[in-house]
């Protein structure tokens, strides 16, 4: 039975794990260094993201649930950046301890022309103090009764010790809470007692000592871990081959991944952990949760960097027989993340806008010519009230919902945005298009938003259109003939 992901709103999860700061440096490579045979990356922009267990938290928030984070960070600048990001998301940070002298783990990724060129890690092998571990553990024990599911994100940075896990699992069992752990290291024995363990295929092979080369050895590895570690359930993620659920005294259950273009696998395990946990908290069975998590992972590997997915993206992927209406139609709130992702992939964005009431051949020519100027065409469409103000009483003749459906059906159109009067400048500022197009019945000076587009480094292009074709002319001809 498919799960209603709108139930995610009612979920409250606790995430315990290693918190990190991910830094992304985006640039271009156009020469080799004269000092050594290495690429010279010209940095164009940079941004920070929550890494490690922080990415699990970010995924949960993006899907609409409440979350509490428990972990340790340093007292320096990187720790403060992480705290600020958590607080901006409305995350409960009472379980995050800032330990003096303990630097916040930072991973810097340099990406040029879609390629991951280099990663720089800044971390320490300094042991987290016993007092910090005890403080976090006591917080978990106090908090666990109030949450639906506990997620454990172990990146091997020292927080997830046998002592902490033992007390966490004991508290979870006392309050009948499900615990799901994404493990690290060769020894899985410390996870004994968790409800579900989610290693990837490589981790499972190393922990079991079984070289996984086919389905038979995969099943052998899974059964060995299940029996020796003392688990009820085990989920092994297999990348492009999907994932397999192992359960005591049952046949392994396998789901296959949908083929997708893969940009970056970083964070895919975080997505599996967060979405699986949310699905279980929403009342899904383990098999249904596995299917949903598998679908979610397939979406994020198509994005660059440590990425989250929106509820609409997940809903659309879970209902593949829907028309293109839901996948192409974007709300204003979804636009910043979409634009950021497109720009990370170096996509050239073209934008055009209008009423598009009663679509005609001139519109089709505008869209086709606009798409030729870039990689992605975003069409802004006036809502019904805006059309009435612009065109007068009786307009639009086709409501905005149907206009959006018609535009989404066109191959040349990638995304459709509905905006109201006064929102066009906001739309342009969010999209920052490389090209803004209008029909040649305008002049460049008449194009609304031209100055903003040019300020962002874009340009306005006028597309030749026939003066004899317009929605108003067609509608008037229909009226006069009736």
Active site residues: 270
Burial status of residue 211 (CB atoms within 10 A of its CB: 0-12, 13-18, 19 or more):
exposed
C-beta pairs of 290-294 under 8 Å, 24+ apart in sequence:
290/235, 290/243, 290/245, 290/253, 290/255, 291/255, 292/3, 292/5, 292/318, 293/243, 294/242, 294/243, 294/255, 294/257
Spatial contact of 122 and 318, defined as CB atoms under 8 Å apart: no
Beta-carbon count within 10 A of 455 CB? 11
Radius of gyration of the chain (CA): 26
Residues 6+ apart with CB under 8 A from 155: 17, 18, 20, 52, 53, 105, 184
Spatial contact of 419 and 380, defined as CB atoms under 8 Å apart: yes
Beta strands in 9-148 (DSSP E): 12-17, 19-32, 39-52, 66-73, 92-98, 105-112, 115-122
DSSP-based three-state secondary structure for 454: helix
Instruction: Please report which residue ranges of 187-267 form alpha helices under DSSP H.
Output: 201-208, 215-229
Spatial contact of 358 and 461, defined as CB atoms under 8 Å apart: no
């Amino acid at each position: 039975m498919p799960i209603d992901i709108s139930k995610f709103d009612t979920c409250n999860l606790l995430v315990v794990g290693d918190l990190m700061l991910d830094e992304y440096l985006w640039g271009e490579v156009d020469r080799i260094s004269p000092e050594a045979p290495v690429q010279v990356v010209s940095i164009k922009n940079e941004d920070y993201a929550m890494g490690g267990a922080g990415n699990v938290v970010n995924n949960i928030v993006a899907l609409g649930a409440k979350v509490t984070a428990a972990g340790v960070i340093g007292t320096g600048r990187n720790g403060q950046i992480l705290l600020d990001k958590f607080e901006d998301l409305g995350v409960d940070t009472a379980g995050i301890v800032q330990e003096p002298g303990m630097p916040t783990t930072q991973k810097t990724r340099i990406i040029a022309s879609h390629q991951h060129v280099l990663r720089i890690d800044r971390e320490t092998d300094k042991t987290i103090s016993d007092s910090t571990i005890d403080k976090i553990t006591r917080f978990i024990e106090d908090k666990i009764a109030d949450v639906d599911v506990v997620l454990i994100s172990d990146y091997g940075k020292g927080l997830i010790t046998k002592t902490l896990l033992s007390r966490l699992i004991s508290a979870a069992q006392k309050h009948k809470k499900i615990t799901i752990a994404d493990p690290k290291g060769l020894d899985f024995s410390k996870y004994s007692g968790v409800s579900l363990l989610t290693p990837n295929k490589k981790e499972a092979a190393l922990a079991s000592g079984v070289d996984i080369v086919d389905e038979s050895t995969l099943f052998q590895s899974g059964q060995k871990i299940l029996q020796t570690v003392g688990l009820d359930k085990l989920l092994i993620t297999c990348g492009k081959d999907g994932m397999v659920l192992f359960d005591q005294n049952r046949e392994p259950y396998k789901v296959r991944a949908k083929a997708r273009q893969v940009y970056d696998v970083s964070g895919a395990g975080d997505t599996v952990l967060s979405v699986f946990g949310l699905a279980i908290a929403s009342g899904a069975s383990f098999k249904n949760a596995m299917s949903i998590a598998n679908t979610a992972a397939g979406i994020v590997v198509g994005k660059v960097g440590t990425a989250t997915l929106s509820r609409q993206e997940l809903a659309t992927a879970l209902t593949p027989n829907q028309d293109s209406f839901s996948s192409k139609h974007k709300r204003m709130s979804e636009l910043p993340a979409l634009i950021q992702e497109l720009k990370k992939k170096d996509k050239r964005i073209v934008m055009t806008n209008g009423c598009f009431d009663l679509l005609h051949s001139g519109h089709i020519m505008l869209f086709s010519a606009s798409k030729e100027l870039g990689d992605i065409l975003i069409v802004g469409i006036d809502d019904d009230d805006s059309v009435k103000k612009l065109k007068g009483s009786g307009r639009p003749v086709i409501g905005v919902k149907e206009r959006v459906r018609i535009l989404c059906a066109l191959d040349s159109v990638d995304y459709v945005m509905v905006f109201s009067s006064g929102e066009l400048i906001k739309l342009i500022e969010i999209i920052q298009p490389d090209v803004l197009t209008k029909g040649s019945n305008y002049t460049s000076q008449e194009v609304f938003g031209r100055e903003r587009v040019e300020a962002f480094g874009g340009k306005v292009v006028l597309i030749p259109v026939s003066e004899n074709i317009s929605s108003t002319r067609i509608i008037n001809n229909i009226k006069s003939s009736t």
